[in-house]
């Protein structure tokens, strides 16, 4: 629950004119649960050295939505050098400090119960090129909030539960609105990946699939070419999250309407109608991101081009090629529509460990919920005959062994995988 609302305070901004700081206190169980011995120890360290420490970004958004965040990031007025001095004096180990030049220090210590705490110094962007930013450290919370992408991501939460909200982020969150901080065009030009971050968070926050502010879509359309300079890995990270969120079909269609697809590794002439149809059938079946995206591809060559741009994993690329190849070829039996056997037979013949998981994604793609449940409950049986068994019967030719094994495998499949070794070997004529 919230405690009493504190009076809004007015703060003078440097780049944005008068801004009111909205504050109130959070007292929910989700917030209280964050206070492990480790976090209490971290708070004590910062308090001892008189540096402010607040929860930042997505964790604040989650807590305000009544969720316990999976990851909690912190912001502070302490510089990286000051943090390193504080942690060293307290016997706290620091790890993976690759982000130090951007102000981030990660603290870890057995005294903190094996917890990692990522703490970032408040900062302002001195110079941006649409991909990277040169930063300068500050002790001004407003300046740090100004540089963030969306209002719902620009809030801070004090460790006493006080919310610090400069840009009506909490109001937007309650009203399910997704807005950029200040000018959408300026925020996008600082980092063009924010176009996809906007879509991702829209899918998480908005109730209406098409409740975008016109000026936001205009800014996205006019700056779409900037995505060409963003690395494929960064685009893929955002795209995957967007595709499994709410309104995914609408948002993917919007990327085509706004002319973004060609810069994102998606086929310029993607099959949007197929994608919308597949998403409607699969959205409640927990599809993998590539299962939805595969509907856009009309041929394997488009998958290859996507991989060159986005550098997806081997497993993700393999799944896309599998779905494009078999989405029409492998379908349920017309004679026995409730039988999962055509799919299990294919898995038996493929003899590859990941075929069953790919087949599950194919059934999601096709919207076959009952068959999917049956396939998930099915365990791949072991074919009881080996080449050694045939050699003992006098068959020595490698080619003949291969043909015989396949014939026996076909007989075994027809028995619904029930025949034992001796019965199968009775069909062999040396």
pLDDT tens column, 45-66: 999 999 999 999 899 999 999 9
Residue 153 lies in a domain: yes
Average pLDDT over residues 327-332: 91
* pLDDT value, residue 263: 96
* pLDDT value, residue 130: 62
DSSP 115-164: -EEEEEE-EEEEEE-BS-EEEEE-S-HHHHHHTSSBGGGS-EEETTSEEE
**Number of CB atoms found within 10 A of residue 304's CB:** 13
Whats the size of the chain, residue-wise? 430
Give the pLDDT band of residue 6 (cuts 50, 70, 90): very low
* pLDDT value, residue 397: 87
Average pLDDT over residues 247-263: 97
Domain stops at, among 264, 296, 331: 264
Average pLDDT over residues 397-413: 90
Domain count, the chain: 4
pLDDT at 12 over 50: no
Of 90, 113, 181, the residue nearest 143 (C-alpha): 181
Residue 274 lies in a domain: no
* pLDDT value, residue 335: 79
Average pLDDT over residues 293-305: 97
Give the pLDDT band of residue 3 (cuts 50, 70, 90): very low
CATH assignment at residue 167:
3.30.460.10
Residues 72 and 104 in one domain: yes
Average pLDDT for the chain:
90
Q: Considering the chain, what percentage of its residues have pLDDT values greater than 90?
A: 72
3-state class of 191 per DSSP? strand
Residue 414 lies in a domain: yes
pLDDT at 315 over 80: yes
Q: Which residues are bridge partners to 123 per DSSP?
A: 137
Residue 186 lies in a domain: yes
Residues 117 and 241 in one domain: no
Give the pLDDT band of residue 151 (cuts 50, 70, 90): very high
Residue 275 lies in a domain: no
* pLDDT value, residue 18: 42
Residues 22 and 135 in one domain: yes
Residues 58 and 75: their CA atoms lie apart, in Å, by 12
pLDDT at 17 over 50: no
- Could you tell me if 18 and 12 are in contact, meaning their C-beta atoms sit under 8 angstroms apart? yes
- 71-88 CB burial, b ≥16 within 10 A, e <16: ebbbbbbbbbebbbebbe
- 124-140 CB burial, b ≥16 within 10 A, e <16: beeeeebeebebebbee
Task: For strands 19-26 and 9-11, give the pairing.
Answer: antiparallel
* pLDDT value, residue 101: 76
Residues 54 and 236: their CA atoms lie apart, in Å, by 30
Residues 196 and 140 in one domain: no
Domain stops at, among 125, 154, 175: 175
pLDDT at 1 over 70: no
pLDDT at 362 over 50: yes
Residue 364 lies in a domain: yes
Domain stops at, among 379, 398, 422: 379
Residues 112 and 245 in one domain: no
Residues 24 and 116 in one domain: yes
Tell me the per-residue pLDDT of 282-294, one tens digit each, with 9 for 90 and over.
999 999 999 999 9
Residues 360 and 370 in one domain: yes
Residues 40 and 161 in one domain: yes
What is the residue range of 181's domain?
Answer: 176-264
Residues 120 and 66 in one domain: yes
Residue 273 lies in a domain: no
Residues 9 and 49 in one domain: yes
pLDDT at 261 over 90: yes
85-89, 175-179, 364-368: which has the minimum mean pLDDT? 85-89
Residues 199 and 240: their CA atoms lie apart, in Å, by 11
Residue 272 lies in a domain: no
pLDDT at 11 over 70: no
Residues 400 and 429: their CA atoms lie apart, in Å, by 11
Residues 356 and 396 in one domain: no
Comparing 161 with 114, the larger pLDDT belongs to: 161
Q: State both tokens at 287.
A: 């599809």
CATH assignment at residue 373:
1.10.3090.10
Q: State both tokens at 293.
A: 């995206």
User: What DSSP character marks residue 21?
Assistant: E
DSSP 347-399: HHHH--TTHHHHHHHHHHHTT-HHHHHHHHH--PPPP---HHHHHHTT---HH
Residues 52 and 103 in one domain: yes
């Amino acid at each position: 629950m919230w405690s009493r609302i504190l009076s809004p305070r007015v703060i003078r901004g440097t780049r944005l004119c008068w801004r009111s700081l909205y504050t109130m206190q959070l007292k929910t169980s989700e917030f209280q649960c964050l206070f492990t011995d480790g976090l209490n120890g971290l708070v004590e360290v910062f308090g001892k050295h008189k540096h402010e420490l607040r929860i930042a970004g997505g964790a604040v958004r989650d807590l305000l939505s009544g969720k316990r965040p999976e990851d909690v990031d912190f912001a502070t007025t302490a510089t990286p050098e000051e943090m390193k001095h504080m942690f060293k004096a307290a016997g706290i180990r620091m790890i993976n400090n690759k982000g130090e030049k951007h102000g981030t220090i990660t603290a870890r210590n057995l005294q903190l119960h094996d917890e990692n705490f990522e703490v970032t110094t408040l900062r302002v962007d001195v110079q941006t090129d649409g991909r990277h930013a040169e930063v300068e450290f500050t002790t001004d919370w407003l300046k740090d909030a100004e540089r963030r992408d969306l209002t719902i991501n620009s809030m801070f939460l004090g460790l006493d539960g006080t919310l610090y909200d400069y840009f009506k982020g909490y109001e937007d969150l309650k009203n399910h609105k997704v807005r950029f901080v200040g000018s959408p065009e300026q925020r996008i030009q600082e980092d063009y990946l924010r176009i996809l971050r906007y879509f991702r968070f829209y899918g998480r926050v908005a109730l209406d699939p098409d409740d975008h502010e016109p000026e936001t879509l205009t800014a996205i359309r006019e700056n779409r070419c900037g995505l060409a300079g963003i690395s494929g890995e960064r685009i893929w990270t955002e795209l995957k999250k967007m595709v499994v969120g709410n309104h995914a079909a609408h948002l993917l269609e919007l990327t085509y309407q706004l002319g973004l697809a060609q810069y994102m590794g998606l086929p310029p002439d993607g099959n949007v109608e197929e994608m919308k149809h597949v998403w409607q059938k699969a959205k409640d079946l927990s599809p993998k991101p590539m299962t939805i995206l595969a509907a856009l591809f009309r041929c394997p060559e488009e998958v290859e081009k996507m991989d060159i741009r986005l550098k997806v994993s081997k497993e993700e690329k393999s799944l896309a090629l599998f779905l494009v190849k078999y989405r029409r070829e492998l379908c349920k039996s017309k004679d026995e529509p409730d039988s999962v056997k055509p799919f299990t037979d294919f898995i038996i013949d493929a003899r590859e460990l990941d075929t069953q998981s790919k087949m599950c994604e194919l059934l999601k793609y096709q919207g076959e919920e009952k068959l999917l449940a049956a396939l998930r409950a099915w365990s791949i049986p072991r074919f009881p005959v080996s080449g050694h068994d045939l050699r003992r019967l006098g068959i020595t030719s490698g080619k003949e062994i291969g043909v015989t094994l396949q014939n026996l495998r076909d007989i075994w499949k027809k028995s619904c995988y029930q025949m034992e070794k001796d019965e199968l070997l009775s069909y062999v004529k040396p």
